[in-house]
């Protein structure tokens, strides 16, 4: 049977000792979010994830959602778990207190997303989509819309969705056909079909609030003609039906307890959110929040897969250690003694701990970008979040799938069997590489939008502090084994940045061909930067004579593995970037 224990020691280490997240209390809205309070909240959240959500994960996968006559039923136990979830106030952790939220930093919500996705990926989809709907309405909704929807979304009484994709268009949203025709009372009749709508229909809440992309009758062609509408399943004024129906649910590879729906809008009553033809900007508020959430899904699924791979490796007896017997009283040694098993486990451990530090840093900077009183500091943080969001979305979901696959490999044949649980993690993990913009799209966003934005301003938000850290510590004897590999990989990242910018101006295919390898190179450097921060924090504790020396020593040892066995992958990605586009683009279509 699978197992999960929230990694609270690692979470608190990153929050309190690496990032000093208590500095967020300097922001007036967050002055009560002390480390003691946040730790207590996360401990309660961990208990809920371990004791309520995790026991439903396998049964939810086995049962899946059921569809009949337009009605979707979630698996046994999900409704009760959701009721307990909203009673605990978890939907409103980072919500505006004006609408019933707790007003805590988004960072707390980011940490909760990791634990929820480890415990029950499918369950996490429901409140996760509501968070995106809340963000869009909070940023762009009218006062009437905010008063109508936000309190219900934060309480969890109502849930939300994002309705973008249509049967003929996904990434290219300019092709959407859903129409919105104005009514005399200021509302609109929305008509069209949306597919792949997560949490589009279910039995957890009394109402579902759909955020729908559609085009007005006078809309210009392409993405400049997209508007955003709020279309409730039931009309708020009288809870009457609104022409919103679920046509079917998808039968999927994974996240089977999350309903993925075909949604039909038949002259459904909706209201414009934001300005006409400016819906894409409002939707990106949802998508950026969702992309950080998806990055946490990658980390969350990797963490639980790693924990199960580790538990199995310590328990499974096979052969003897290559350098001599380790367990003479047993017929064989546990497989954790074997180098290749340790390679897989250390790859998983190094990723999870590095990604946790990196994504929590992004989560903290998101709070700064939203609430810091200094406009300059807000802009700097916003730039960094914009730059790193596509990187962590793509890299962490790639690695979430890889780590879940490694956990299967550690289990051997048992990993392929449902009862051990890890094959579910592999199936669940795969979707995160696809939705909210495929990882290839994230790479194009990085090189096509973020790299050159504002004359390279976004890049400077990351490059400058990394460069300064390297320069300040190049003679630090305690960090030599980490500084020089980072400096080498960072220098090549700067070089490839310049090459892509130069070649991409002449031929966009050059930038496109380099994009995925560039993103992965960037991610490894960013992870390396965060791993050094963890080394510094661990060395500090050891120097001060901590009672938990083994914990901090493990950080330094894991960092050594990352710098010696994972960061060198950046060299390969650098060489692929330097190879250019010719070998990708030369083959004629009929030669494939």
Catalytic residues: 436
Distance CA 129, CA 202 (A): 13
DSSP-derived secondary structure for 367-379? HHHHH-S-HHHHH
Distance CA 512, CA 445 (A): 10
Tokens for 590? 């009929």
Contact 20, 13 (CB under 8 A): no
Give the torsion sign (CA, 283, 288, 293, 295): positive
Q: Centre a 10 Å sphere on the Cβ of residue 206 and count the other Cβ atoms it contains.
A: 12
Beta bridge partners of 531: none
Tokens for 474? 């190049």
Distance CA 305, CA 308 (A): 5
Tokens for 422? 């890890």
Contact 499, 515 (CB under 8 A): no
Contact 399, 301 (CB under 8 A): no
Distance CA 132, CA 285 (A): 8
Tokens for 86? 């909203």
Q: Centre a 10 Å sphere on the Cβ of residue 250 and count the other Cβ atoms it contains.
A: 17
Distance CA 56, CA 121 (A): 10
Contact 359, 390 (CB under 8 A): no
Give the torsion sign (CA, 134, 137, 143, 145): negative
Burial of 88 (0-12, 13-18, 19+ CB in 10 A): middle
Pair type for strands 244-249 and 260-273? antiparallel
- The owner of tokens 């696809």 is 434
Q: What is the 3-state secondary structure (H, E, C) of 211-229?
A: EEEEECCCCCCHHHHCEEE
Q: Which residues contact 80 (CB under 8 A, 6 or more apart)?
A: none
DSSP-derived secondary structure for 426-476? HHHHHGGGTSSS-HHHHHHHIIIIITTGGGGHHHHHHHHHHHHHHHHHTT-
Element (H, E) at 284: helix 279-315
3-class DSSP assignment, residue 143 = helix
């Amino acid at each position: 049977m699978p197992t999960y224990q929230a990694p609270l020691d690692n979470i608190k280490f990153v929050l309190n000792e690496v990032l000093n997240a208590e500095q967020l209390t300097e922001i007036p809205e967050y002055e009560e979010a002390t480390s003691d309070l946040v730790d207590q909240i996360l401990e309660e959240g961990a208990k809920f994830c371990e004791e309520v959500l995790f026991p439903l994960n396998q049964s939810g996968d086995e049962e899946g959602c059921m569809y009949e006559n337009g009605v979707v039923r979630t698996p046994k136990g999900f409704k009760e778990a959701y009721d307990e979830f909203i009673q605990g106030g978890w939907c409103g952790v980072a919500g505006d207190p004006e609408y019933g939220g707790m007003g805590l930093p988004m960072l707390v919500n980011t940490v909760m997303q990791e634990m929820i996705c480890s415990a029950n990926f499918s369950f996490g989809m429901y409140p996760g989509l509501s968070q995106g709907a809340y963000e869009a309405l909070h940023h762009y909704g009218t006062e009437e819309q905010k008063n109508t929807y936000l309190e219900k979304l934060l309480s969890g009484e109502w849930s939300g969705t994002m309705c973008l994709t249509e049967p003929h268009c996904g990434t290219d949203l300019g092709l959407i056909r859903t129409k919105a025709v104005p009514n005399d009372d200021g509302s609109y009749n929305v008509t069209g079909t949306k597919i792949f709508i997560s949490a589009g229909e279910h039995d957890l809440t009394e109402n579902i609030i759909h955020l729908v992309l559609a085009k007005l009758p006078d809309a210009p062609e392409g993405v400049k003609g997209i508007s955003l509408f709020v279309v409730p399943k039931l009309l708020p004024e009288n809870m009457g039906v609104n022409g919103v129906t679920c046509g079917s649910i998808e039968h999927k590879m994974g996240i089977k307890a999350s309903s993925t729906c075909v949604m039909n809008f038949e002259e459904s009553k909706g209201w414009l959110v934001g300005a006409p033809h400016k819906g894409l900007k409002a939707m990106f508020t949802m998508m950026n929040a969702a992309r950080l959430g998806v990055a946490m899904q990658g980390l969350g699924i990797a963490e639980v897969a790693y924990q199960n791979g580790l538990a199995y490796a310590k328990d499974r007896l096979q052969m003897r250690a290559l350098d001599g017997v380790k367990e003479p009283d047993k017929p064989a040694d546990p497989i954790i003694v074997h180098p290749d098993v340790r390679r897989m486990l250390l790859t998983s451990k190094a990723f999870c701990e590095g990604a946790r530090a990196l994504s929590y840093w992004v989560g903290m900077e998101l709070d700064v970008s939203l609430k810091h009183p200094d406009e300059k500091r807000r802009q700097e943080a916003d730039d960094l979040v914009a730059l790193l969001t596509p990187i962590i979305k793509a890299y962490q979901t790639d690695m979430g799938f890889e780590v879940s696959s490694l956990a299967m490999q550690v289990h051997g044949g048992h990993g392929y069997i449902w009862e051990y649980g890890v094959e579910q993690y592999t199936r669940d993990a795969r979707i995160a590489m696809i939705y909210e913009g495929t990882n290839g799209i994230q790479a194009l966003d990085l090189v096509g939008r973020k790299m050159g934005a504002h004359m390279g301003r976004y890049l400077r938000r990351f490059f400058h502090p990394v460069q300064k850290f390297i320069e300040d510590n190049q003679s630090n004897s305690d960090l030599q084994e980490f500084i020089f590999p980072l400096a080498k990989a960072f220098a090549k990242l700067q070089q490839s940045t310049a090459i892509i910018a130069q070649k991409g101006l002449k031929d966009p295919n050059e930038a496109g061909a380099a994009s995925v390898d560039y993103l992965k190179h960037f991610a490894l450097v960013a992870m390396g930067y965060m791993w050094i921060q963890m080394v510094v924090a661990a060395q500090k504790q050891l120097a001060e004579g901590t009672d938990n020396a083994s914990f901090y020593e493990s950080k330094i040892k894991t960092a050594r593995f990352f710098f010696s066995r994972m960061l060198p992958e950046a060299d390969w990605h650098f060489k692929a970037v330097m190879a250019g586009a010719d070998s990708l683009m030369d083959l004629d279509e009929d030669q494939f």
